[in-house]
Structure 1
Amino acid sequence: MWELDRHSGKPLYEQIADHLEQRISYGEFPPGSLLPSERKLADQLGVNRSTVILAYAELRAMGIIESRSGSGTRVSTSKWGATPKHTPNWSRYAEGGSFLPNLPFMRKIREALNQHPSLIDFASGELAADLAPMEEIAELMSEHRYTSYLGYDNPQGYIPLRQALVSYLNTYRGIQTAESSILITSGSQQSLYLITQCLLSPGDAVAIEDPSYCYSLPMFQSAGLRLFRLPVDQHGICPDDIRSLYKKHRIKMVFTNPNFQNPTGTVLSAERRKQLFEVTSELGLPVVEDDPFGLTAFEDAPPMPLKSMDVNGSILYIGSFSKIAASGLRIGWMVAPRSIVERLADARQQMDFGLSVIPQQVAAQFIKSAYFLPHLERLRTQLHFKRDLLIESLQKELADLVTFTPPRGGLHLWCHLRPQVHDGKLLEESLKRGVVFVPGSVYGSDSGFVRFTYARAKTENIGEGISRFAEALRELTS
């Protein structure tokens, strides 16, 4: 993002005018396009409105912009003679295409975090720096010289990493597989994207959990899929609902996150796991299992994935390092029948010729190293501690206004708000107070739910963050 140079001798209004003129000349604001209001631009840049008024006055004097009462400030359509007539309308292009943008709430949250890094962050679904194995990975990188040829690698993934994952999956997740049945991806999200684009067609019906992380991903709508809900209760989804959806809508695939589900934190019960296999086997339905949180169990042994029980080969299993190690490595994987792996590897080769080999080398070394298990144990302990801090803060500040079930693993706490509040207004009030969260409606739920992620916020900020959220909630309900 562009920032003002407050140490420059050049007045702030001139810096703003020059920056806008440059963006207009590059075609980012085509002729006739609407510019931000004076007040909105002032808020974005952290200056007084009078500074923006001066900047706009400078541009008007140059004939670059024009203002009309009731219609705002727009880029002039007549400046530079005929040249603007040939400028592409980039705004129209940006609003077009078949791949939909992120949901408005998610864009607002991302924009707020970019503009105000000091926000107490209960929204970002990733580990804080103090939870990531930064020192361990730095040590491995100093111990091992990554000197292999830095050309395009196998589009299915770096072979030594796939070999390391065979052992990892068997040891930690009870999954027996071969390197030829593993596809390395750029995190779980790319796995989901490849599935929706390559294995399904526009108009196909799929079943996803409700609430579900999948609702926050416009990629499903971009693929033209019809989404049908599988309600989640304290024991996970009810497999009988799958049979009902199949009869009504001929669903072609089921997406589930059975271990510490995002956002609710629930674990699919043993009885329902058995029923899920019975129903999907009877109907011949493939199941996509997303398992990013399974190894984060706080006290009990980590729940095993569905894939560990899969004797018919009906589960497409997705895993990732993002929630247990380092999201910046962008290392995920999919375990699937070889025909599916080959199909998706061919597709991802068309996209990017495969991942960078260096983070794959780092990941392979890390999961084979003596650092991995101690890191997991430390991660579980620290996540458990942060979860307890969050719960303690909620009970102190909002015991009469929220209800929740403490998760036994994962990164998220799902809360139901007793008072009726508008999601957007609550987020706005919270942002004013320096704290951000994800409204429950992002995940397909009704208003009145919020997701707090306790892995990202600093330990010392958790109590303060909930105190500020409580102020915002009470402001709206007073």
Structure 2
Amino acid sequence: MEWRPDRTAKKAVYKQIADYIEQGISTGLFSPESVLPSERLLAKEIGVNRSTVVAAYDELQSLGIVERKKGSGTRISTDIWGVSHKRIPNWGRYMEDGSFLPNLPLVQRIRTENQNRHLINLSSGELSPSLLPSEQFKTMMADIPFLGHLGYDHQQGNMSLRETIAEHVKTYKNIHTSKSSILITSGAQQALHLIIQCLLKSGDTIAIEDPSYCYSLPVFQSAGLNTLLLPMDQYGINPDDVIAFHKKHRIRMLFLNPDYQNPTGAKMSMARRKKILEISTELGIPIIEDDPYSLTSFNGKVSNTLKEMDENENVLYISSLSKIVASGLRIGWIIGPKSVIERLADAKQQVDFGHSIFPQWAANEFLKSSSFDEHVYKIRQGLKERRDEIVKSFDRYLKEEIDYFIPEGGIHIWCRPKKSVNENQLLEESMKRGVSFVPGSVFGSQKGYIRFTFGREETSVINEGIARFAEALHYCQQNDKSPAT
């Protein structure tokens, strides 16, 4: 047999063997009347362990493709093409062959565990129910006598909502735009997907912050993009790194979260914002500015966004209502050059025929109402109280044991135990004690860090969550049996 498994491939060797045999049966390479090679012989011929062939045959048997009898060997199922036999699609192979990659297993695990009502959730990037404007929405929607046309709306989003957003960003962020330069999306995540799918191609090189929420998104890898990591400090990325990377790799696009960055809570300095825009103009590198948190500034002062300072339309600006109103509303937007917005809108129309009209009506009414200002004030106060509580809890249970950066807005706090610990073991022990967090490796190259999110739980619960985490940390430091990450 000339075929050999590819040991450099991500797919397990036994799965490669099973796929090869299944394809060989379909093409006639393996005759339905023939007996397949014995486990020992096949293992010798293709240079693998016998146990690997056993696993491959087990998989084929579970799919009804082969029959195995002790003493008689393994043969193709006698009824594989018969009327009575019902073959099961090899869903495992379909899932592996799909171009859109799944979330990291660690991320999937955390999300699954967070469905446990008894878990103190210090990992999810959403707001506490007490910070959501539920009562305002009930009153507001009850007072709307007729919501309007129920058919498909404009492919860029409801015109009234886009006009309201244009006024909103002008009032709160000094961004001057028009409804024709705005696209309504299903949150910021869909905005990122559309930009990647429409404006980049496989093999392009992009640069993101390190650490960064973007690092945890498989969409970049699914699109075949090369991702460069720009080191972060408390003032954002160093613009000189962008220049150095571009000379070596020709950066096609730069993804930044300048205000209260996820996961670090850092805020980019004004000097660096100006320098980044200068570099963008000089080198022609478009900037994707993700701004979910700037309105949460605890002192009420909103910094100049890159988009506000953008004089040459180099910036595509993404924002949403997920972190300041409600994540379940699924209202986000992109602001950019009209031609780019039209291209992205065309792609969105192909995907979902435009955004649902109901959340657009609700968002439009709320943004225009006097309740919005009151709500933003409530959000700032509520998040600041939670931030202060988590800092107090650190001092109470982990004093001198962790380093952390205190953010002035947003919902995340970034910390690192001074004594190294295995992050997987720490997460397991924390969840056993009923508290979740996100290990820092999910967000980039830095190991040994932890992201706590203080926006999801009530202030009264945060103290207990950190107490449980401290207990888990102390246990792991005393019983660490594997290499620290």
Shorter-chain TM-score bucket reads 0.7 to 0.9
- Report matched runs for 1:4-403 at 5 Å: 77=64, 85-114=86-115, 116-403=116-403
Deviations 1:388-424 (CA, angstroms, capped at 9, x unpaired): 0001001111112211121000000000111111121
Aligned position for 1:44: none
Shift of 1:225: 0.6
SS at match of 1:139: helix
C-alpha distance in 1 between matches for 2:471 and 2:145: 52
User: In the superposition, relative to structure 1, how do residues 475 and 353 fare at CA in structure 2: closer, same or farther (>3 Å)?
Assistant: same
SS at match of 1:107: helix
- Going from structure 1 to structure 2, the CA distance change for 1:450 and 1:84 (only over 3 Å counts) comes to farther
Counterpart code for 2:354: G
Q: CA 1:151 to 1:265, structure 2 compared with 1: closer, same or farther past 3 Å?
A: same
| Correspondence for 1:49 | none
Structure 2 residue matching 1:126: 3-state secondary structure: coil
Distance 1:84 1:453 in 2: 52
Q: Does the 8 A contact of 1:183 with 1:345 survive in 2?
A: yes
Name the CA distance, whole Å, in 2 between partners of 1:428 and 1:145.
51
| Preserved CA contact (<8 Å) 1:421 1:447 | no
Measured at CA, do residues 432 and 164 of structure 1 come closer, stay the same or move farther in structure 2, by a change above 3 Å? same
Offset of residue 76 of structure 1: 8.0
Q: Any unmatched runs of 5+ in structure 1? A: 1-31, 33-67
Give the superposition deviation at 1:75: 5.2
Q: Which amino acid aligns with 2:106?
A: F
Secondary structure, counterpart of 1:416 in structure 2: strand
TM-superposed CA distance for 1:302, in Å, is: 1.7
1: CA distance, partners of 2:248 / 2:445: 22
Query: What's the offset of the Cα at 1:99?
Result: 0.4
CA distance in 2, matches of 1:145, 1:314: 42
Counterpart-to-counterpart distance in 2, 1:147 and 1:406: 44
Does 1:462 find its partner at 2:462? yes
Distance 1:454 1:434 in 2: 16
Q: CA deviation at 1:146?
A: 4.2
Going from structure 1 to structure 2, the CA distance change for 1:256 and 1:76 (only over 3 Å counts) comes to closer
Counterpart secondary structure, 1:86 = coil
Report Cα offsets for 1:118-163 as digits up to 9, x if no partner.
2100110011111111111111111113432211111110100001
Taking only aligned residues, the RMSD between alpha carbons, in angstroms, comes to: 2.0
Match of 1:37 in 2: none
Query: C-alpha separation between the residues in 1 aligned to 2:293 and 2:85?
Result: 52
Q: SS state of the match for residue 475, structure 1?
A: helix
- Separation in 1, partners of 2:78, 2:171: 68
How far off is 1:176 after superposition? 0.1
1:364-400 Cα offsets, whole Å, 9 max, x none, are 0000001000000011000000000001001111112
Gaps of 5+ in 2: 1-17, 19-54, 68-76, 479-485
SS at match of 2:114: helix
Matched residue SS, 2:251: coil
2:98 maps to amino acid:
G
Q: Give distance in 2, aligned partners of 1:185 and 1:95.
A: 29
Change (3 A) 1:317 1:76: closer
Q: Is the 8 A contact 1:316 1:334 kept in 2?
A: yes
State the match for 1:51 in structure 2: none
CA contact under 8 A between 1:243 and 1:279: conserved in structure 2?
yes
- Secondary structure at 1:339 match in 2: helix
* Structure-1 separation of matches of 2:401 and 2:263: 19
Distance in 2 (CA, whole Å) between partners of 1:344 and 1:363 is 21
Match of 2:405 in 1: 405
Structure 1 residue 166, shift from structure 2 partner: 0.9
Structure 1 counterpart SS, 2:403: strand
- How has the CA–CA distance of structure 1 residues 84 and 136 changed in structure 2, closer, same or farther, with 3 Å as cutoff? farther
- Identical columns (%): 50
Contact persistence 1:146–1:361 (CA under 8 A):
no
Task: Give the letter for the 1:87 counterpart.
Answer: I
Q: Which amino acid aligns with 2:312?
A: N
Is contact 1:322–1:331 with CA below 8 Å preserved after alignment? Answer: yes
Work out the CA distance in 2 between the residues paired with 1:445 and 1:260: 20
Distance 1:379 1:300 in 2: 11
Number of aligned residue pairs:
410
